[in-house]
């Protein structure tokens, strides 16, 4: 009896979203303009391009959240405020709340394995040492989701620096051009699925 009552009164409480787009980064002015916050900035740029409402704090998700419709698709944009290495729990909760399967998750993040100006989608791949991606895979117990990787490979003179040191420095001057293109590719991925091509911008 209780199962029938619960189904009747609570079955519509889960809001269904067609795609969850998450930008990885760290909260606070200290990190705002670093390469490591490329995910935050690309998803924020997508929000502006689509004229979605402003991000609002969602306390249960410990994230900034906005929602809207791209053509006929309901989309949620999420910026976890948990700091990069603990992003997975917020994403796990969001997937559950919006009834989104992992394969409809698009994760946007910086990547020191790709040259600056390179934008590439990867599907069902390991974390390649990225702590934020590792947290997500551990929390949702699968790597079957899409990643949009924004390249920040070490440049000449940075060979002895750790990847963490590189991405926590200021982003290169060409970052706006790179992130605008990444936002365009991100919109296409939401509508039509991720591209298999690698975008390499001349910068």
CA atoms of 26 and 30, how far apart (whole Å)? 9
Which residues, in sequence order, are CB contacts of 61 under 8 Å at separation 6+?
A: 78, 80, 90, 93, 94, 97
State the Cα angle at 128 between 66 and 105, rounded to 5°.
25
* Torsional sign, CA 189, 80, 34, 159: negative
CA atoms of 128 and 106, how far apart (whole Å)? 17
Is 36 a catalytic site residue?
Answer: yes
Stretch (H or E) spanning 9: helix 2-10
Which CA distances in Å does 141 have to 32, 109, 133, 165?
A: 29, 19, 12, 28
Stretch (H or E) spanning 58: strand 56-58
Q: Which of 36, 104, 109, 154 is catalytic?
A: 36
How far separated are the first and last CA of the chain, in Å rounded? 65
Active site residues: 36
């Amino acid at each position: 009896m209780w199962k029938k009552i619960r189904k009747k009164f609570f079955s519509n409480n889960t809001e269904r979203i067609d795609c969850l787009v998450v930008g990885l980064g760290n909260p606070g002015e200290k990190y705002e303009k670093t390469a490591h916050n490329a995910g935050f900035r690309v998803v924020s740029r997508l929000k502006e391009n689509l004229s979605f409402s402003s991000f609002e704090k969602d306390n249960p998700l410990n994230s900034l959240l906005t929602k809207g419709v791209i053509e006929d698709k309901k989309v949620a944009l999420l910026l976890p405020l948990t700091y990069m290495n603990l992003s997975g729990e917020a994403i796990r909760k969001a997937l559950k709340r919006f009834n989104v399967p992992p394969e409809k998750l698009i994760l946007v993040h910086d990547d020191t394995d790709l040259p600056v100006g390179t934008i590439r989608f990867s599907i069902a791949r390991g974390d390649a040492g990225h702590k934020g991606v590792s947290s997500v895979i551990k929390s949702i117990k699968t790597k079957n989701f899409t990643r949009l990787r924004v390249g920040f490979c070490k440049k000449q003179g940075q060979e002895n620096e750790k990847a963490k040191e590189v991405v926590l420095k200021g982003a290169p001057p060409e970052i706006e051009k790179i992130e605008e293109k990444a936002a365009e590719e991100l919109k296409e991925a939401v509508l039509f699925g991720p591209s298999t091509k690698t975008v390499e911008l001349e910068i």
